[in-house]
Amino acid sequence: MNQLTNIFKLLSDDTRLRMILLLYQQDLCVCEISGILNAPQPRISKNLSKLRDLNLVLDERREKFVFYTLKKDNLLLTQTLKQILDEIELYPQILRDSENLVDKEQFLNQSCLICE
């Protein structure tokens, strides 16, 4: 029951929900997530730490950047995320976030305090 409660608490936060949906679609660096969501890097890092503590993401250093991957072994979480993305037109902010994934590389060129 605790795992179920933690997932719904996690999804109840706008920033974490948006982050998880992005990571469901692609592996991303902190600076890419920060740029796409237009949110401060410390807030993104704090939320990624929570996701890591719940064993929902993995991190991997690639050159000077740390990329995060959503672990897809939690069936409840992945089915929920898939359902949201299947009906993405109902969620304008999430749709904009997904559209911004195309331009994610532009954020790698910005100063990334976490990655360097």
Structure tokens at 92: 């304008």
Residue 94 lies inside a defined structural domain of this protein: yes
Q: Average pLDDT of 99-104?
A: 90
For residue 84, the enclosing domain spans 2-107
Residue 49 lies inside a defined structural domain of this protein: yes
> What is the percent of the chain with per-residue pLDDT over 90, rounded to a whole number?
67
66: CATH: 1.10.10.10
Q: Average pLDDT of 36-53?
A: 93
Per-residue buried b or exposed e for 21-45, using 16+ beta carbons within 10 Å of the residue's own CB: bbbbeebbbbbbbbbbbebebeebe
Residue 113 lies inside a defined structural domain of this protein: no
According to the model, what pLDDT value does residue 108 have? 76
Residue 99 lies inside a defined structural domain of this protein: yes
Number of structural domains in the chain: 1
According to the model, what pLDDT value does residue 109 have? 60
Neighbouring C-beta atoms of residue 17, cutoff 10 Å = 20
Confidence of residue 10 (pLDDT cuts 50, 70, 90): confident
Instruction: Examine the pLDDT at 112 and tell me if it is beyond 70.
Output: no
**Which range, 33-37, 62-66, 103-107, is most confident?**
33-37
Three-state secondary-structure class, residue 71 = coil
Q: What are the tens digits of pLDDT across the range 52-88?
A: 988 999 999 888 888 999 999 999 899 999 999 999 9
Distance CA 103, CA 1 (A): 39
Our separate counts of H helices and E strands in the chain read 6, 3
pTM score over 0.85: yes
Distance CA 9, CA 13 (A): 7
Residue 115 lies inside a defined structural domain of this protein: no
Residue 116 lies inside a defined structural domain of this protein: no
Cβ distance 2 to 79 under 8 Å? no
Residue 112 lies inside a defined structural domain of this protein: no
